[in-house]
Amino acid sequence: MADAPNTVTTLSGNFKEIYADTLENLLPRGIKLTRDVKFVSRDQMPGNSYHQPVLLQHEHGVTYKAAAGGAFSLVDAVAGATKDATLVGTQMLLKSQIDYETAARASSGGKRAFRRALDVVVENMYQSCRKRMEIDYFWGQKGIADCSGATIVNSGNNSTVTFTKAQWAPGIWAGMETAVIDVFTSALADRHHAAPSIASVTSVDMDARQVVIACGETAAIADGDLIFFDEQYDLTGTAHNVFAGLYEILDSATTSLYGITKASYSLWQPTNFAVNGALTFSKVNEAIALATGKGLDEDLCLYISPEVWGDLIDTEVNRVHYDKQPGSSRADVGASGIQFYSQNGTITIKPSIYCRNGFGFMLSPRLYKRIGATDLTFKLPDRGDEFFRHLDDVAGYELRAYVNHALFTKAPGKSVLLTNIAT
């Protein structure tokens, strides 16, 4: 009896049965913000945009009168203010290709052979996408790196950039060799490599915080330049192809958020706190106090770099006695987070390899949502249960991972951006 031919249907059937319920278990341990902020399902997003009415100003038509004031007159009504915050998810797609021979052997060899042949490809695609998503949740529209203060050596077509400690995030650069990037001036007014030339990462020295970039033409990267993943910013259309991440959302220099002007409403203005030194629990409490004045009473997470997190443990754990009783000032020091009590409630300090050393992001995950048409999936909108597609004029298949998403908060004033953290 002849072997059954290998088809897109058989490949997709095996893929669905093997990977459908297990991919989420592959979420890398370093992906923390994605874990903490929930994705909003499609049925909560009528139309193409996500709409959220937000309360920005209290009612002020209040009348005061002393006792025995009789039938006193009322002051005019002063209405509160609500606005419709609106945003649309942006798209990211990763494609990978598999030749016919590999696919045929995998499919004809049964489920174990299929998993053995596809595991490396599928896991790498999934984790590569999740890493980019996590980076975008922190740094979307700000760029993956800032060359401010960096030591830069331009030689021929290559630039060697040694980043400052403040601007270095190890998780962003690990494994990024051959990644295609764009380098822009700080105002995003100019790109340092004209089309069709591309820039790419040649090598990464994690210990030296050094990245070598091949520019495809005479290199001229300068202090203050911003680095983006390729096509994240469209210079021709002067538009971002990626949503606003935490830094863009919480940066006071950003004038508008979800179509609402920040300066017009104090509750829509995020809190910025310059640490100006080493991060301590006292500094964290100072930052919390600023957000508490805007109504913060939720439990918080503070995301900081592993280096800053280690310094915090070294300086504080040996100095302070910790217990786990409610009402105590601090509690619960663990290997993956520090949890203590403050005026708002509980705050958990988490190390993230995607945080630059000079920054911290303090927020309540329950006040944030990941919104969009779909979370990361291998199931494309127009393909039904077909995960694989034939390549044109090439003996192989293509597998694609796709996400349509954005980051949203209804209360930016209750979040804090920490800057100028020294290590």
**pLDDT tens readout for residues 151-162:** 999 998 899 999
Query: Letter for the amino acid at 105?
Result: R
pLDDT band at 325 (very low <50, low <70, confident <90, very high): very low
Q: DSSP letters of 229-278?
A: ETTSEETTTTEESS---HHHHH-TT--EETTEEGGG-GGGSPEEEEEEE-
pLDDT band at 198 (very low <50, low <70, confident <90, very high): confident
pLDDT in tens, 115-135: 777 888 888 899 999 999 999
Record the tokens describing residue 254, joined without a space. Answer: 């950003």
More confident residue, 103 or 280: 280
CATH no. for 246-369+409-421: 3.30.2320.10
**Pair of tokens at residue 100:** 């016919």
Domain ranges of the chain: 8-14+25-37+87-142+370-407, 145-240, 246-369+409-421
Q: What is the pLDDT of residue 324?
A: 47
pLDDT at 377 over 70: yes
Q: Determine the pLDDT at residue 75.
A: 78
Protein fold of 145-240: Elongation Factor Tu (Ef-tu); domain 3 (2.40.30)
pLDDT higher than 70, residue 43: no
What share of the chain has pLDDT > 90, as a percent? 44
- pLDDT score, position 422: 94
